[in-house]
Protein backbone atom coordinates (compact mmCIF):
# COMPACT_ATOMS: atom_id res chain seq x y z
CA UNK A 1 0.00 0.00 0.00
CA UNK A 2 2.86 2.38 0.81
CA UNK A 3 4.45 1.56 -2.55
CA UNK A 4 1.27 2.55 -4.43
CA UNK A 5 1.06 5.77 -2.44
CA UNK A 6 4.67 6.63 -3.25
CA UNK A 7 4.16 5.87 -6.95
CA UNK A 8 1.03 8.04 -7.04
CA UNK A 9 2.85 10.90 -5.31
CA UNK A 10 5.80 10.66 -7.70
CA UNK A 11 3.52 10.66 -10.74
CA UNK A 12 1.61 13.65 -9.39
CA UNK A 13 4.86 15.46 -8.77
CA UNK A 14 6.08 14.78 -12.28
CA UNK A 15 2.82 15.87 -13.87
CA UNK A 16 2.64 19.03 -11.81
CA UNK A 17 6.32 19.90 -12.09
CA UNK A 18 5.74 22.92 -14.27
CA UNK A 19 5.87 21.46 -17.75
CA UNK A 20 4.89 24.37 -19.97
CA UNK A 21 2.87 22.99 -22.85
CA UNK A 22 2.51 26.40 -24.53
CA UNK A 23 6.24 26.47 -25.18
CA UNK A 24 6.14 22.98 -26.65
CA UNK A 25 3.33 24.06 -28.97
CA UNK A 26 5.21 27.15 -30.22
CA UNK A 27 8.93 27.28 -29.35
CA UNK A 28 9.21 30.72 -31.00
CA UNK A 29 6.41 32.29 -28.95
CA UNK A 30 8.70 34.25 -26.65
CA UNK A 31 10.92 37.08 -27.79
CA UNK A 32 14.51 36.99 -26.63
CA UNK A 33 15.94 40.14 -28.18
CA UNK A 34 15.08 43.52 -26.74
CA UNK A 35 16.76 46.72 -27.94
CA UNK A 36 18.11 49.15 -25.39
CA UNK A 37 16.81 52.71 -25.11
CA UNK A 38 20.05 53.93 -26.72
CA UNK A 39 19.54 51.59 -29.68
CA UNK A 40 15.96 52.77 -30.09
CA UNK A 41 17.11 56.38 -30.18
CA UNK A 42 20.36 56.16 -32.16
CA UNK A 43 20.15 53.19 -34.54
CA UNK A 44 18.42 53.02 -37.89
CA UNK A 45 15.68 50.43 -38.13
CA UNK A 46 14.65 48.17 -40.96
CA UNK A 47 11.15 46.73 -40.88
CA UNK A 48 10.20 44.03 -43.32
CA UNK A 49 10.16 40.34 -44.17
CA UNK A 50 13.18 38.08 -43.67
CA UNK A 51 13.80 36.61 -47.12
CA UNK A 52 16.75 34.31 -46.35
CA UNK A 53 19.85 33.78 -44.23
CA UNK A 54 23.25 33.66 -45.92
CA UNK A 55 25.74 32.78 -43.18
CA UNK A 56 26.39 35.95 -41.16
CA UNK A 57 24.09 37.99 -43.40
CA UNK A 58 20.30 38.22 -43.19
CA UNK A 59 18.38 39.48 -46.21
CA UNK A 60 15.32 41.61 -45.43
CA UNK A 61 12.83 43.00 -47.92
CA UNK A 62 11.38 46.15 -46.39
CA UNK A 63 7.82 47.40 -46.66
CA UNK A 64 8.78 49.60 -49.66
CA UNK A 65 10.19 46.63 -51.61
CA UNK A 66 13.88 47.48 -51.06
CA UNK A 67 16.21 44.60 -50.17
CA UNK A 68 18.73 45.02 -47.33
CA UNK A 69 21.59 42.64 -46.48
CA UNK A 70 22.46 43.10 -42.82
CA UNK A 71 25.36 41.67 -40.82
CA UNK A 72 24.71 39.56 -37.71
CA UNK A 73 27.32 38.10 -35.35
CA UNK A 74 27.73 36.85 -31.77
CA UNK A 75 27.25 40.37 -30.39
CA UNK A 76 23.81 40.70 -32.03
CA UNK A 77 20.78 40.21 -29.78
CA UNK A 78 18.69 37.86 -31.87
CA UNK A 79 15.19 36.41 -31.71
CA UNK A 80 14.67 33.00 -33.26
CA UNK A 81 13.67 33.88 -36.81
CA UNK A 82 13.14 31.98 -40.05
CA UNK A 83 12.57 33.05 -43.64
CA UNK A 84 9.12 34.55 -44.02
CA UNK A 85 9.02 36.14 -40.55
CA UNK A 86 8.23 39.83 -40.17
CA UNK A 87 11.28 41.37 -38.47
CA UNK A 88 12.65 44.62 -37.13
CA UNK A 89 16.41 45.20 -37.23
CA UNK A 90 18.36 47.89 -35.37
CA UNK A 91 21.35 48.62 -37.58
CA UNK A 92 24.46 50.81 -37.19
CA UNK A 93 25.54 53.20 -39.94
CA UNK A 94 28.16 50.60 -40.92
CA UNK A 95 25.51 47.92 -41.53
CA UNK A 96 26.01 45.85 -38.38
CA UNK A 97 22.84 44.67 -36.66
CA UNK A 98 22.77 45.21 -32.90
CA UNK A 99 19.28 43.70 -32.38
CA UNK A 100 17.07 41.63 -34.68
CA UNK A 101 13.60 40.77 -33.42
CA UNK A 102 10.38 39.35 -34.78
CA UNK A 103 7.89 42.13 -35.42
CA UNK A 104 4.42 41.98 -33.95
What CATH number did the domain enclosing 87 receive? 2.40.50.140
pLDDT (tens digit, 9 = 90+) per residue, 10-25?
Answer: 666 655 555 544 444 5
Is the confidence at residue 98, as pLDDT, over 60? yes
Is the confidence at residue 55, as pLDDT, over 70? yes
**In what side-by-side order are the strands of the sheet with 97-102?**
67-71, 57-62, 44-54, 86-91, 97-102, 77-78
Q: Please tell me the total count of domains within the chain.
A: 1
Judge whether 71 lies within some domain. Answer: yes
- What residue numbers bound the domain in which 37 lies? 30-102
The verdict on pTM exceeding 0.75 is no
Judge whether 42 lies within some domain. Answer: yes
Judge whether 24 lies within some domain. Answer: no
Amino acid sequence: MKAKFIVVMLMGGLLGSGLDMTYAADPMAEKEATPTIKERLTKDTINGTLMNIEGAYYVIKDDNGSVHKIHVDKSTKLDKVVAGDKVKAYVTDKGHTTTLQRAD
